Structures are given as structure tokens and as C-alpha cells.
Structure 1
Amino acid sequence: MIALKFETEIKGTCTEANHKGEIVIDSYSFGSSRYVAINDGERQTGVSNISEMSLTKSTDISSPDLFLQSTNGKSLGVATLTVLQTGGSTEDTQPYLIITLSDALLTSYVIEGSKIRPTERLHLSFTKIKFKYVEFNGNTKNGDVEKTYDLLAKKAG
């Protein structure tokens, strides 16, 4: 399961214990790229480029708010995307990937309908990203790794 919450409250349909009322996400993607040129026996690299985060979800109670937020150009504050797994011998969910976006701004909202439930695609711009992975062995947390990148300063932390 993937859950998304914003600092600006937008009600979703998640029913997981620690994520009640958050927005259920079907898929997400973002990435980084860097221009590389090879000239005269040397390799030169450009500045890293971090893409917006792209999300897909089914239409739900959050849809009207998300649409409106895409039109007003205001920051939603911090956005937290949490990827959950079912843990070990218990059926409790454990957050194993947490991506935190600072100063999140909904830059695009698209809804596509057909005979089945409509699907939405969202794009989020942000100024800083925190990427945290938590390792589990069954129910036991084995540690975590957390990295940050400030897009405005172009600096890793």
C-alpha cells in the first residue's frame, strides 16, 4: 500500500491504522538525470536535474480538493509518501520507504475515465526531498538509510 499526506489537509480514503484518512496512491515515479558530454578524451558532467514526482490514483474523496489545489498555485507544505509492507509473522503494516517533499506544489492534475473507475495523474513540484529506506527482517527493524537533496541549493545532505 502507498499512502500520501499533505501538511495542508486533504482527506483521503486510507484505512491503515497509522495512515487513516490519507490519500491512497496506486503508483509513483520521480528521478534524477545529468547531462554528460564526452569531448576530446574528457568527460564533462552537467548539473543534476530532479524531476517532479508523478503519481497515479483512483478517483476518491480527495479528487475535488486535488483538482482545486492544481488551479491555485499555492504550496501544500510538506508532502509525505509512505510505502507500506506487511510484516513478518504479524499482519501489521510497516513503513519501509518514506519520501518527504518540502514545499510541495501540485503542478498538474489529469483525470481519465472509461467504463471502469476513473484514474488520476498528479505531478508534484518540490524544493527539497528526503528519501528514507527502512530495512526489516520479518517484524524486526534492522536500521535505516536517509538522504536529502535541496533542489534550490543543488546540495545533497
Structure 2
Amino acid sequence: MPDFNVESDRLKMRIANPDDQSKAMTRMGRGPSLDYITYAPGPRDVGARNARGGAAAAGLRMAAEAFNSYSLHHWLEKWLENNQGKILEAMMAKGHRAFVVQFNYSENNFAETRSYFPRNAFLAGTVPTAADSGEVLTAQFMYGPKADAIPPNSSTKFRYAYLVGELK
């Protein structure tokens, strides 16, 4: 799951309730062993070569997923910096010290490499303190009907993260 703990020079944001967020996808375990057709010495050490190649491919996949997850974190960090003035203005208008943000992103599991794409983020409301975020994050708001786009394929899932931010 991507890291949603972001900060700007005057604001910091974290995930509202980690239990309500999307769970990480589970992966299959190791495949069948090819050791029964190979012998260690000689030209038939195919299993060892396959294991090394598989380990290298798994390492590249993990690095690609980590980089992709960081790109989502970076996008959210830039969004917070760019909208800091509007958020502070909305908080000061009501005398509040905390705010709630809904962040929409898509998760794609294509070719066994999970990728994330930011879709949108918006200020859902302001609250007196971060502990009062339940005033905005009601069951109707979080789980109610949503008008959303149709995913382009069956491997794309639209996800929503609810973030609570406050003044530093």
C-alpha cells in the first residue's frame, strides 16, 4: 500500500483509518520446483539458472512497484503544496485546525507488476481537530453511492483513500 503520510511547509497529512483502506494484493507463492529434471553437475543445471533468472526478475518487479508507489506519494505531496493556500483559507474561515481529503487513485495489476495512477484529490471538509474527522467521514460519505468512471479493464481497480491533515 502506498505511503500517504505527506507534509508541506505548514501542513501534514496521514491516512484517516488504515483499516478502511484497500488491502494489499496477495501474490502466489513459489512455483513448482524443476529440481527433479536437473542434476547439479554438467550441462543439465537448468534449475539453478532458472532460479537465478527468476530471482532477478522478482527483484526488478519489486523495484518497479516501489518506484511506482513512491510516484503516487510524490504526486500527493505536490498536490498538498499546490493547494496549501486554499486549505488554509478554508480552515481559517471556520476557525478549524484540521481538514479531510479524499484521494482517488487507480491500482492496476498488469503482468504481475502493481502500478498506481493518481486520479484526483479534493478537500472534503474542515474540522476543529483531527479527532473530529468523523463529522466529515460519515458512513454515507465513505461507503455511499459514487458516480465513478468505468474501469478500462478487469485488472484496474479504483481506490479511495481518506486522509486527515492538520497544522504543523
User: Shorter chain as normaliser: what TM range?
Assistant: under 0.3
Q: How high is the TM-score relative to the length of structure 1?
A: 0.28
Q: Which has the higher strand share?
A: 1
Q: Which has the higher helix share?
A: 2
